[in-house]
Amino acid sequence: MAELSVGEVAERSGVAVSALHFYERKGLIRSHRTGGNQRRFDREVLRRLAIIRMGQDLGVPLAEISEQLEMLPHDRAASKADWAKLSSRWRDRLDRRITLMTRLRDELTGCIGCGCLSLRNCPLYNREDSLAAEGAGPRRLLRSGRDVKALE
């Protein structure tokens, strides 16, 4: 039972079979086939799926998750160090996002006290009103995907 069928992967990962097909077409996961043309997955696919889910939870588009996964070796099985590198990249991303969200929450907390958004000096209000003036740079602080990337 070293190899998993598509149904088994679906069950263990909680990802629908149709989504697994889809991910395979997009190159996010890989399988080989039995004599009867059925997919067989290496157990490693479960780790990849965990990474994919995590990325999606962070609002990262599949294309970009795919890029991250591309950095894993194709020739040999991913080593401990490979996964560690990938993990630390994700952790950094999470860290940045947590920082941004925490800042937003604190501003919002302040605003609850101040009658939120109604005052000229409310940080949220000011942000909103001056967004367009910030020019071509990354305008939306928490924007997911590309814009988070833009902050890197």
Partner DNA sequence: TCTTTACCTCAACTGCGGTTGAGGTTGTAG
Partner DNA sequence: CTACAACCTCAACCGCAGTTGAGGTAAAGA
16 versus 84: smaller Cβ distance to DNA: 16
Nearer to DNA, 33 or 120 (CB): 33
Beta carbon nearer to DNA, 21 or 127:
21
- Does residue 150 belong to the site contacting a second copy (CB under 8 A)? no
**Of 76, 85, 77, 22, nearest to 49 (Cα)?**
22
Least CB distance to DNA at residue 140 (A): 11
The distance of closest approach from Cβ of residue 35 to DNA in the complex, given in angstroms and rounded to an integer, is 6
Residue 37 interacting entry, from a second copy, DNA, none, C-beta within 5 to 8 Å by type: DNA
Between residues 23 and 48, which has the closer beta carbon with respect to DNA? 23
Task: Mark the segment that binds a second copy (CB under 8 A) among 16-24, 29-37, 64-72, 115-123.
Answer: 115-123
